[in-house]
């Protein structure tokens, strides 16, 4: 595509440092300062904790039992971060730094891909669009393996983008990215990238070349160690666990015969992408529409569009569906949106600009208001309401949190003021990214202690631990979820014997998870309830501890 003049403003040195500051401001908040939250963070940390304690990375283990849902790349990386930084941070915070590591690489590779596809300035636009996506905000800061998967896709897409210019290096990046994706969540990443790589030359003549074939051959060799080493070690350790991982948790989740995970209709992603991929999706659609007569003949558009359509098709056909699984689709959409920014109509660009300023500014103002109500006690009605929602929270002024939030707010106002001198269309994307970053910073500073008080299991497990008899051999459990099992081991060094995997109740203590509206009765007349509890403010979950009568 031709170089639009507006984009030259985004290829200067000053905008590079501005983008780097925005990326850091987006990545860092939320990585430290709170307990592992359920569901995904808590069970992920359980797997990380096992590697940290035992050094065994071949068999992922949760609460003393093999957990063969995913390969261990993210868990290994997080355990290494825990080893390095746990001297200064709680272990769960140190482990969560791995998410920041993977997200930093994802943003870097997205920028390199945008520059490779569309030219100078477009890489920075691609990153800003990706940062501004609503669906990435929370999931991009969680202690979950999907961030490593996103990293793998970003590297692999960069390899494909580079293949028409430097096929050998491109093959290395393509294979490495597919391998990282495989070691993060199994066959989904190499499968999607292989389908895309084979589909391109079948449909488009631009990709039918000897160099592209050599690129794919090098990619296969680069991916081979990632695809073979861990599965081989796992098979040598336990053929049964290998079959459980490969057959049930890979093919079974995809095809539906394993009956694992939430099942949704096949238009789930089409219904959720409009908000999940905002603002990347509408700008990407505009890119296709305004260039509909010539754009599809360009190799760059063919690449990005093929990646997105293959992802959408595979995810939509899969039996298992969650909004979290749509994260990789944000990459091609952000890349496809970058060249369309400069051609946005004046009204659309102005609407995006003012929507971002007014919406995110209003949300930030609301957060400041509620924080002031909690700290000062005025207005009293709002303070009482917030404390009812989180009864485990004790208001306290945090000077560091306040300083960071205030600095971020002032910086946002300064950027809005200075951005007036930028061209209208790039300014809209910049204000969208900085607005959502401001909201996230305030949420993860001023509001974080209040949120964590209700989402943490720490106080509940401490209460349970105090209720345990001085002498007990073991604890059986019933209906205990994976997050709870992981955190029981971390906080209290408790490993339960689940009635679902053992032969009934084997211990003289039984821990039951259920719902507050359906209280659990003792399993028999010989059992007595010795403890009942829940997280502060949680009106759904409830836990009961029963003890068998010694007689």
pLDDT > 80? residue 258? no
Q: How far is CA 47 from CA 33, 221, 275, 324, in A?
A: 20, 30, 32, 19
pLDDT at 2: 40
Residue range 58-62: average pLDDT? 96
pLDDT > 50? residue 234? yes
Residue 121 CA to residue 231 CA, distance in Å, equals 41
Beta bridge pairs of residue 512: 478, 544
Q: Taking the chain, what is the end-to-end CA distance rounded to the nearest angstrom?
A: 83
Give me the phi and psi of 472, to 5 degrees please: -155, 145
Pairing of β 497-498 and β 475-478? parallel
Burial bucket for residue 411 (CB in 10 Å: 0-12, 13-18, 19+): middle
Residue 463 CA to residue 459 CA, distance in Å, equals 6
**543 DSSP 8-state letter:** E
Q: Which residues contact residue 99 at a Cβ distance below 8 angstroms, ignoring those fewer than 6 apart? A: 31, 78, 140, 141, 142, 143, 144, 147
In the predicted model, what is the mean pLDDT of the chain? Answer: 92
Percent of the chain whose pLDDT exceeds 70: 96
pLDDT at 5: 46
**CB 149, CB 70: distance < 8 Å:** no
Residue 159 CA to residue 97 CA, distance in Å, equals 26
Residue matched to tokens 């057959």: 247
**502 DSSP 8-state letter:** T
Give the number of other Cβ atoms within 10 Å of residue 390's Cβ: 19
Residue 367 CA to residue 412 CA, distance in Å, equals 15
The pLDDT-based confidence of 262 (bands split at 50, 70, 90) is: low
Each domain of the chain, given as residue ranges in start order, spans: 24-340, 346-455, 459-548
In 269-289, which positions are buried (b, 16+ CB within 10 angstroms) versus exposed (e)? beebbeebbbbbbbbbebbee
pLDDT at 59: 97
Residue 289 CA to residue 406 CA, distance in Å, equals 41
Residue 385 CA to residue 207 CA, distance in Å, equals 61
pLDDT at 4: 44
The pLDDT-based confidence of 8 (bands split at 50, 70, 90) is: low
pLDDT at 263: 62
pLDDT > 80? residue 254? no
Q: Specify the 3-state DSSP secondary structure of 498.
A: strand
The pLDDT-based confidence of 537 (bands split at 50, 70, 90) is: confident
Q: Which residues contact residue 268 at a Cβ distance below 8 angstroms, ignoring those fewer than 6 apart? A: 316, 321
Provide the residue count of the chain: 551
Q: For residue 531, how far is the Cα from the chain centroid?
A: 35
Q: Specify the 3-state DSSP secondary structure of 37.
A: coil
Percent of the chain whose pLDDT exceeds 90: 80
Residue 207 CA to residue 156 CA, distance in Å, equals 16
Q: What is the CA radius of gyration of the chain?
A: 25
pLDDT 10s digits, 401-445: 999 999 999 999 999 998 888 888 899 999 999 999 999 999 999
Q: How far is CA 326 from CA 215, 304, 386, in A?
A: 28, 16, 33
**Closest listed residue to residue 382, CA positions, set 395, 369, 391:** 369
Residue 427 CA to residue 423 CA, distance in Å, equals 6
Q: Indicate the pTM of the whole model.
A: 0.94
Residue 488 CA to residue 480 CA, distance in Å, equals 10
Residue range 240-258: average pLDDT? 82
pLDDT > 60? residue 1? no
The pLDDT-based confidence of 3 (bands split at 50, 70, 90) is: very low
The pLDDT-based confidence of 10 (bands split at 50, 70, 90) is: low
Handedness of CA 135, 141, 145, 151 (dihedral sign): positive
pLDDT at 318: 85
């Amino acid at each position: 595509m031709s170089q639009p003049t507006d984009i030259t403003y985004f290829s200067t040195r000053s905008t590079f440092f501005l983008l780097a500051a925005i990326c850091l401001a987006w990545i860092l908040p939320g990585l430290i300062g709170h307990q592992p939250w359920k569901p995904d963070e808590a069970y992920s940390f359980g797997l990380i904790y096992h590697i940290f304690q035992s050094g065994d990375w071949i068999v992922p283990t949760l609460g003393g039992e093999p957990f063969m849902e995913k390969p261990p790349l993210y868990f290994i990386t997080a355990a290494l971060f825990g080893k390095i930084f746990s001297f200064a941070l709680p272990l769960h915070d140190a482990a969560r730094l791995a998410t920041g590591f993977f997200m930093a690489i994802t943003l870097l590779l997205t920028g390199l891909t945008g520059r490779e596809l569309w030219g100078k300035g477009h890489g920075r636009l691609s990153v800003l669009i990706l940062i501004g996506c609503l669906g990435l905000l929370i999931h991009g800061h969680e202690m979950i393996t999907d961030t490593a998967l996103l990293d793998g896709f970003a590297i692999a897409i960069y390899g494909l983008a580079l293949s028409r210019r430097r096929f050998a290096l491109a093959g290395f990046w393509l294979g490495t990215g597919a391998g990282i994706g495989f070691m993060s969540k199994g066959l989904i990443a190499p499968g999607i990238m292989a389908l895309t790589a084979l589909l391109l030359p079948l449909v488009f003549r631009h990709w039918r070349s000897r160099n592209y074939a050599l690129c794919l051959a090098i990619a296969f060799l680069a991916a081979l160690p990632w695809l073979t080493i861990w599965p081989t070690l796992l098979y040598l350790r336990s053929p049964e666990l290998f079959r459980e991982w490969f057959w049930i948790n890979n093919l079974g989740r995809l095809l539906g015969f394993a009956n694992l995970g939430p099942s949704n209709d096949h238009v789930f992603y089409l219904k959720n992408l409009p908000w999940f991929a905002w603002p990347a999706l509408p700008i990407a659609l505009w890119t296709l529409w305004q260039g509909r007569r010539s754009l599809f003949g360009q190799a760059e558009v063919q690449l990005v569009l093929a990646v997105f359509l293959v992802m959408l098709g595979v995810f939509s056909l899969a039996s298992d569906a969650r909004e979290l699984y749509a994260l990789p689709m944000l990459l091609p959409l952000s890349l496809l949106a970058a060249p369309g920014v400069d051609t946005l109509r004046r009204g659309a660009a102005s609407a995006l600009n003012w929507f971002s300023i007014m919406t995110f500014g209003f949300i930030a103002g609301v957060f400041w208001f509620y924080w002031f109500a909690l700290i000062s006690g005025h207005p009293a009605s709002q303070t009482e309401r917030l404390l009812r929602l989180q009864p485990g929270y004790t208001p306290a002024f945090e000077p560091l949190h306040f300083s960071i939030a205030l600095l971020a707010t002032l910086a946002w106002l300064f950027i809005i003021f200075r951005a007036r001198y930028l061209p209208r269309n790039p300014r809209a994307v910049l204000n969208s990214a900085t607005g959502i970053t401001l909201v996230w910073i305030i949420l993860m500073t001023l509001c974080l202690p209040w949120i964590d008080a209700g989402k943490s299991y720490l106080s509940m497990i401490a209460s349970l631990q105090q209720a345990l008899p001085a002498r007990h051999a073991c604890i059986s459990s019933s209906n205990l979820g994976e997050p709870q099992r992981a955190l029981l081991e971390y906080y209290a060094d408790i490993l339960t014997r689940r009635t679902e995997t053992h032969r009934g109740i084997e211990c003289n203590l039984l821990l039951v998870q259920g719902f507050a509206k359906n209280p659990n009765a003792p399993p028999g007349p010989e059992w007595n309830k010795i403890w009942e509890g829940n997280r502060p403010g949680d009106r759904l979950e409830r836990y009961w501890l029963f003890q068998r009568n010694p007689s």
